Chains A and B, each alone.
Chain A
């Protein structure tokens, strides 16, 4: 069974940093591009970015570029999202997804507030 489990969400102050993790199981993680998507309270979904299979290529949404970094550790089947200089607009549930958006994690909540 394919599973994606996010963790690391918490309350963080504006300007602070946070690192999210997504542990994958049930499929060959190293064979698939992976994405992060977020959902702000009561609003639609926003694609954050993606990473290729070996971690050598990433693409980001303009809204988070230069503040967020996506990386992966294929040996640990884990996807990461390093968030820095966070703003109140970054408050959201963060989902990892894979295999062509076929599988999503349960999400982890990030709240940016002083």
Chain B
């Protein structure tokens, strides 16, 4: 199975600060169809996961543009340019290139 390693596991930030989360894969996520099926989700306390980013860098519908995704192959990054209070929660990366699809262990974003 593909292992996704997220760092850091806990991220403390102030409102307005820009932060980044890393997601490293144990193998390349580039599919034979040319797509890279790497997603980012936010799970707020008591809620279901919400898709933020799909195919590495595409912003989900209704997602604020302070969120951005980048990377290729095995290294990926989610950046939040100016954290807002509503961004607090746990962030997960997920790959859907290789079955079984797998998630990272999560990064908890909390207020400093």
Chain A residues within CB distance 8 Å of chain B: 35, 37, 44-47, 59-62, 95, 100-102, 104-107
Contact = CB atoms under 8 A, between A and B. Distances in A.
Contact of A95 (B1, B48, B96): B48
Contacts, number: 44
Contacts of A47: 94, 100-103
A1 B12 CA distance: 35
Interface of B: 1, 39, 41, 48-51, 54, 60-61, 92, 94, 96, 99-106
The residue in A45, A62, A95, A102 that gathers the most chain B C-beta atoms within 10 A of its C-beta is A45
Given A45-B49, A47-B101, A101 B106 contact: no
A101 B100 contact: no
- Chain B interface mostly: loop
Contact of B51 (A59, A95, A102): A102
The residue in A47, A61, A106 that gathers the most chain B C-beta atoms within 10 A of its C-beta is A47
Contacts of B39: 101
B54 A100 contact: yes
B102 A102 contact: no
B48 to A, nearest CB: 4
The residue in A44, A59, A100, A104 that gathers the most chain B C-beta atoms within 10 A of its C-beta is A44
B103 A44 contact: yes
Contacts of B106: 44
A64 to B, nearest CB: 10
